Amino acid sequence: MHHKPAILFVCLGNICRSPLAEAAFRLEAEKAGLDAHTDSAGTAAYHVGSPPDPRSIREAAKHGIDISAYQARQIEQEDFTRFTHIFAMDRSNLSNIRAIAPEVVAARIALLMDVLDGSGGKEVEDPYYGGDHGFAVTWEVVAMAARQLAKELTS
Ligand code: 4NP
């Protein structure tokens, strides 16, 4: 039986990077005709219940997707069984995810950039303390990974 892919994108606050990765993947999945469950979460609880950063909302809007109704949440134990893939934006996120993961997990847990040939081990840098440009860069890199991931899951 084929399992419907369920993809969780994880960053620190769930207000900057992972909402953009989720949005980019939704667009790519739609284009590819891929039926996937998609969500995002943060390793930290600081922003639980908050909408994405206004800069992320603006960046997503430029690409035709409205993420203003997203609400940040923290990753939780059930995510390790609900999702088939859990993608961390950076190595700190990855080690925080691994630290709380059950010993045996069926889900693939990896850096998002590992899906791109030649970008294995690369991080999606945190744009929080910079200007709007950083969010455009974030979009660029997460969209490339999202496209490749949608392609992989469709074939
Ligand atoms: P994110 O960015 O992990 O991409 O959502 C950040 C958001 C908030 C903070 C740091 C990074 N913070 O320190 O509050």
Distance 17 CA to ligand 1 centre (A): 8
pLDDT tens sequence across 35-87:
999 999 999 999 999 999 999 999 999 999 999 999 999 999 999 999 999 99
Contacts for 25 with CB less than 8 Å, ≥ 6 apart: 7, 9, 36, 38, 142, 146, 149, 150
pLDDT at 129: 95
Task: Report which ligand 1 atom has the smallest distance to the Cα of 72.
Answer: 5
Set out the domains of the chain in order of their start, with CATH numbers: 6-154 (3.40.50.2300)
Q: What is the pTM of this model?
A: 0.97
Catalytic residues: 11, 17, 126
pLDDT tens sequence across 1-25:
457 999 999 999 999 999 999 999 9
Whether 150 contacts 27, CB under 8 Å: no
State how far the Cα of 82 lies from the Cα of 62, in Å rounded to an integer: 31
Is 102 exposed, middle or buried (CB count within 10 Å of its CB: 0-12, 13-18, 19+)?
exposed
pLDDT at 155: 79
pLDDT at 2: 56
- Return the residue whose CA atom lies nearest to atom 8 of ligand 1: 13
pLDDT at 1: 44
Whether 27 contacts 146, CB under 8 Å: yes
Task: Report which ligand 1 atom has the smallest distance to the Cα of 18.
Answer: 4
Q: Which of 11, 22, 141 to mutate to test the pocket of ligand 1 (most atoms within 8 A of CB)?
A: 11
